[in-house]
Chain A
Amino acid sequence: MVKSRSAYSTPSKVGKSDTHIFVVWVDNEAGVLARVVGLFSGRGYNIESLAVAEIDHKKNLSRVTIVTTGTPQVIEQITLQLKKLVPVHKVANFKREDKKVIFKEMALLKVVGNSAKIKKALNACKKHNPVILDKTNKSVVIQITALRREIDSVIKNLKPLGLVSASRTGAVAMTRGAEIFN
């Protein structure tokens, strides 16, 4: 038998992890984001992406959307720990595969090249609601909104076409139909 030299127990088996999206309604006050993010880092949960902005100026409410991975037990803990924070009003969480929920990320992509390349670049973005925000005869800034992995693949495709800079947001989420998160 191997002798344990630790004052602590050895880790037990880790279950299967899933990607989850958390939507958290918080008071828009100083330090609130640090509380939410600190809870994740302090307890060893990871954050894949994060989006936050004020959504109701009158009620002083912000909405935080966090994409994370964890076992069902960890996801339950995150939910309950978030709910304990004083400035947190409401917490919703759902699996990435959940069909009832839409989620989107936005990316700004700058392509530098001749007009043929720019044309090809625009073509590569066609499926993802491209908007041209700025255009010169050697460059273009394209805005697309899509899923994370779609943006990943667009970026991959644009690399040979002169992509010089990419800026991306975290995911934001909304339920389909008349329902709202609760």
Chain B
Amino acid sequence: MGNLYSGAEIVFKSLEDQKVEYIFGYPGGAVLPIYDELKNHPTIKHILVRHEQGAGHAAEGYARSSGKPGVVLVTSGPGATNVVTALTDAYMDSVPLVCISGQVPTHLIGTDAFQECDTTGITRPCTKHNWLVKDINDLPRIMHEAFEVATTGRPGPVLVDIPKDVQFAKAKYFKPKKEKKLNGKTLNKFDQKVIDQLIELMRKASKPVFYTGGGVINSGPKASELLRELVALTGFPITSTLQGLGAYPGDDNQFLGMLGMHGTYEANNAMHDCDLLINIGARFDDRITGKIDEFSPKSKKVHIDIDPSSINKIVKVDLSIVGDVAEVISATSKTLKKKNLNLEKSNKQKISKWWKQIQKWRTKQSLNFINSDTIIKPQHAVQRLYELTKNQDTYITTEVGQHQMWAAQHYKFNKPNRWMTSGGLGTMGYGLPAAVGVQVAHPKKLVVDIAGEASVLMTIQEMSTAVQYNLPIKIFILNNQYMGMVRQWQELLHEKNYSESYSSALPDFVKLAEAYGCIGIRAKSPNELDKKIEEMINVDKPVIFDCLVDQEENCFPMIPSGKPHNKMLLGPKDQEENKITDKGKTLV
């Protein structure tokens, strides 16, 4: 006969069995029994955030940088609704989260009780699955199933809603079963035949390109190693989505840079003109494809993804391989070696023309910008940050907007799990709490949130969390006093009607840092930038770095909406050379 445990104890026993070390949360009436139990479980550390959205994003940062699921604990009602943004963000970017929420006692459900809301109803569309635990005897099974669903197949968030009386009720506990079959939802059965077909396509291709995404990161560090091997074996060029950055070294010669709306000229043109497109763990997002009807019109398309519903959702493909990226790549490389097809050598002749074309595109240097001696250009600031931090293992998070794109363009990632950004949902305010989570997972590493001043104010309260737990995160704000991306679109597409995109009455970020008990640093001119960045890196405390940058700078290159990949807008340098006036820029 097993012992009887309370619901709160069962929650912690299952967290222990799932090897959870940190939970991010905020207490409240309906989760008090669980908080009461916390003291009895020393292996689990609770990180108290300042807002439940922060708990969600911190758990995302933790999960994405460590490869382990992030755990969130919130109360009923507002606690649960505040975490909805983070759950949706995790759902869009396939981040494994387990969110435990308190609920009013079962006998009060449906009575509009204090702090009651239909949590499972609200979170149904933004989780992989959720559960309302009405019977204490279901709790152990549901807790284990929650971790299983969150971490298998295409990862994502789940939520377990536990009424307060269930937290007090008692039941037996049982450990998770190993290798449980989950309703056939994890798919990893691909046939050697499709691998052979893929290799046949690769052999025939004369203009191939790899297009890789976050699926490679989610498949684990091994997948990135295997990807590097495959790219070397084939000699093909490779481009990556925003989420895939770091899976392949950003400074390697075969890497064309990021593709998509703010991707490089060579990456987007290669996508447009290629005759074989191999999508590995990406999902043909609308920021990537541009105009669907004219997307990569001449290519055979291959899609490798663990989620069958990603295939043919947006772009019809010629060959689909449903499986875990690492295993598919490994099978491909193995077959290549077995067949003794050294594509790099045998195909060299064939694809050398393609590489010549790519070199031609590269000479455009589409990420170039006109630097200045008097004012800090935001791209320059990111480049300097990169140069001064590349020698140590640095983790970068971002908010959403221009600064995010500049970070993606100018910071070169060499390892997976070093780049945490809100891509799918595009959540302003993601970066600061995510940095908190990353620093929790990697206490000794340098963690920098490349931020915008508008975004960071959405979750600035989490500085307090960073200070409380001595998390020396660096908030590197590219401050242009505008919601930069909004301003850019207004300049280019709305006749410079800068409607509500300027923030007057911004706080003094240096004083704000001091108010939170951390360090504030301000850089105003390019000649002091390096010194100040070094100062920031060397402080073993949280820092808010207020980098005052050019207010007018736009993020180029850019594919205007509804345009195919080969109709890019390039930066001001190129436009000058082509004698396109400022006015021409607005005629997108």
Bound-state CA distance A131–B170 (Å) is 53
A35 interface residue per 8 A CB criterion: yes
B562 close to A76 (CB less than 8 A): no
- B292: contacting residue among A6, A9, A34, A38, CB under 8 A: A9
A4 close to B561 (CB less than 8 A): yes
B416 interface residue per 8 A CB criterion: no
Given contacts A8-B286, A73-B313, A89-B183, 7 further A-B contacts (CB under 8 A): A7-B489, A9-B286, A9-B290, A10-B562, A31-B120, A34-B121, A86-B185
B291 close to A9 (CB less than 8 A): yes
B293 close to A12 (CB less than 8 A): yes
B-contacting 9-mer, from A77-85, A136-144, A161-169 = A77-85
Chain B residues positioned under 8 Å from A16 (CB to CB): none
Q: Nearest B residue to A89 by beta-carbon distance?
A: B183
A180 interface residue per 8 A CB criterion: no
Chain A residues positioned under 8 Å from B309 (CB to CB): 77, 80-81, 83-84
Q: Which residues of A are interface residues toward B (Cβ below 8 A)?
A: 3-10, 12-13, 30-31, 34-35, 38, 42, 73, 76-77, 80-81, 83-86, 88-89
Contact pattern, B 557-588, Cβ under 8 Å of A = 1, otherwise 0: 00011100000000000000000000000011
Given A13-B293, A34-B121, A89-B183; A77-B562 close (CB under 8 Å): no
Given A8-B286, A89-B183; A35-B124 close (CB under 8 Å): yes
Chain A residues positioned under 8 Å from B308 (CB to CB): 80, 83
Question: How far apart are A178's CB and chain B's nearest CB, in angstroms?
Answer: 25
A-contacting 9-mer, from B125-133, B216-224, B429-437 = B125-133
Question: How far apart are B539's CB and chain A's nearest CB, in angstroms?
Answer: 38
B125 close to A42 (CB less than 8 A): yes
Q: List 14 A-B contacts (CB under 8 A).
A: A3-B493, A4-B493, A8-B286, A9-B562, A12-B291, A13-B293, A30-B132, A42-B125, A76-B312, A77-B313, A84-B185, A84-B307, A86-B182, A86-B183
B95 interface residue per 8 A CB criterion: no
Q: Which residues of B are interface residues toward A (Cβ below 8 A)?
A: 120-121, 124-125, 128-129, 132, 134, 149, 182-183, 185, 286, 289-293, 307-309, 311-313, 316, 489, 493-494, 560-562, 587-588
Bound-state CA distance A55–B420 (Å) is 46
Question: How far apart are B166's CB and chain A's nearest CB, in angstroms?
Answer: 14
Bound-state CA distance A13–B292 (Å) is 10
4 closest A-B pairs by CB: A80-B309, A86-B129, A4-B562, A10-B562
Chain B residues positioned under 8 Å from A81 (CB to CB): 309
A6 close to B561 (CB less than 8 A): yes
Bound-state CA distance A6–B291 (Å) is 12
B286 close to A5 (CB less than 8 A): no
Chain B residues positioned under 8 Å from A73 (CB to CB): 312-313, 316
B293 close to A4 (CB less than 8 A): no
Chain A residues positioned under 8 Å from B121 (CB to CB): 31, 34
A3 close to B312 (CB less than 8 A): no
Q: Nearest B residue to A3 by beta-carbon distance?
A: B588
Bound-state CA distance A7–B124 (Å) is 28
Chain A residues positioned under 8 Å from B489 (CB to CB): 7
Bound-state CA distance A89–B185 (Å) is 9
Bound-state CA distance A38–B126 (Å) is 11
Chain A residues positioned under 8 Å from B128 (CB to CB): 84, 86
Q: Nearest B residue to A78 by beta-carbon distance?
A: B309
Question: How far apart are A37's CB and chain B's nearest CB, in angstroms?
Answer: 10
B129 close to A38 (CB less than 8 A): no
Question: How far apart are A36's CB and chain B's nearest CB, in angstroms?
Answer: 11
Chain B residues positioned under 8 Å from A88 (CB to CB): 183
Bound-state CA distance A31–B123 (Å) is 12
Question: How far apart are B145's CB and chain A's nearest CB, in angstroms?
Answer: 8
Question: How far apart are A96's CB and chain B's nearest CB, in angstroms?
Answer: 22
Question: How far apart are A42's CB and chain B's nearest CB, in angstroms?
Answer: 5
A3 close to B132 (CB less than 8 A): no
Question: How far apart are B268's CB and chain A's nearest CB, in angstroms?
Answer: 14
Question: How far apart are B542's CB and chain A's nearest CB, in angstroms?
Answer: 34
